[in-house]
Amino acid sequence: MARRPTPPPFPGIVVHQPLRERHCADCRRGPLPLLVMENGAPRCLDCADLGHLVLLPRGDTALTRRSREESALSAVVVRFNRRKGRYERQGVLVEEEALARAERRCLADAEARRRRRARDARRRAAEDERFAEAFAAEIRRLFPGCPEERARAVAAHASVRGSGRVGRSAAGRALSERAVTSAVVASVRHLDTPYDRLLMSGVPRHEARRRIAAAVQTVLSSWSEGGLGSTG
């Protein structure tokens, strides 16, 4: 004889989704999609005075919590999982108007979050723009011969948020001379020398850098006043 499952460990009123056809012990209606066990006998929701409630399926934790807060009467809906040998929550029954109020609260929160995300995005964009401008200005200070558009392009590339590039490092955010120079060197290496072609032809990175070091130095010297040390 199969062992009867233990009662579901859920507080409050519990409503079952039956695994087999069941009929109400009072009104004989059935088969019942949902039922309440009273004194070992199944009752339909109407006979159990729960017929005015509506089902909110599981899945939205915030909506479920708020629906139960808003509802004077509620019940947990469960179904027995034979494979796992336990009852599992399927949703809740709540008053229809309570569900509507909870949905309005969640929508208001969602709209508030949307507005906050939009404000944060605008703030970050403004911060990024100011930082890129400061980075470009520092490039122009260190390399006064660097074309203004090139300085802006280098700064924009190096300072992309979340990119992991030198402009987003601690030194880059502090506009250290080493970090700014590294960003300029990287730009020159890729745009003003055959470095990328060397890499694509199979030349090891360190060897490719050695080969184009003089070309990098030539560009940097033309942009600076007095030149820099080896940077390839």
Burial 34-57 (b: 16+ CB within 10 A, else e): bbbbeeeebbbbebbebeebbbbe
Using the predicted structure, report yes or no on whether residue 10 has a pLDDT greater than 80.
Answer: no
227 CB-side CA count, 13 A? 10
Q: Is 70 within the bounds of a domain? A: yes
Average pLDDT over residues 43-47: 92
Q: Is 46 within the bounds of a domain? A: yes
Is residue 149 domain-shared with residue 213, that is, in the same domain? yes
Which residue is listed with tokens 């490092």? 169
Q: Is 60 within the bounds of a domain? A: yes
Q: Is 3 within the bounds of a domain? A: no
Q: How buried is residue 231: exposed, middle or buried, by Cβ count under 10 Å (0-12/13-18/19+)?
A: middle
Question: Which residue among 45, 80, 105 closes a domain?
Answer: 105
Residue 228, pLDDT score: 43
Report residue 7: phi and psi, to 5°.
-60, 150
Q: Is 134 within the bounds of a domain? A: no
Q: Is 124 within the bounds of a domain? A: no
Q: Is 82 within the bounds of a domain? A: yes
Please list the residues that pair with 76 across neighbouring strands: 14, 92
Is residue 97 domain-shared with residue 165, that is, in the same domain? no
Q: Which of 193, 198, 183 minimizes the C-alpha distance to 215?
A: 193
Can you give the residue range of the structural domain that contains 72? 14-105
Using the predicted structure, report yes or no on whether residue 230 has a pLDDT greater than 70.
Answer: no
Q: What would the pLDDT profile of 193-217 be if each residue is shown by its tens digit?
A: 999 999 999 999 999 999 999 999 9
Q: Which of 131, 138, 127 minimizes the C-alpha distance to 184?
A: 138
Is residue 96 domain-shared with residue 147, that is, in the same domain? no
Number of domains forming the structure of the chain? 2
Question: Which residue among 77, 105, 133 closes a domain?
Answer: 105
Is residue 147 domain-shared with residue 200, that is, in the same domain? yes
Question: Which residue among 105, 134, 161 closes a domain?
Answer: 105
Q: Is 158 within the bounds of a domain? A: yes
Handedness of CA 116, 118, 121, 123 (dihedral sign): negative
Average pLDDT over the chain, rounded to whole?
A: 87
Q: Phi-psi bin for 56: left (phi > 0), alpha (psi -120 to 50), beta?
A: beta
Asked if 183 and 196 count as a contact pair (C-beta separation under 8 A), the reply is no
Is residue 98 domain-shared with residue 155, that is, in the same domain? no
Average pLDDT over residues 106-133: 88
Average pLDDT over residues 124-130: 89
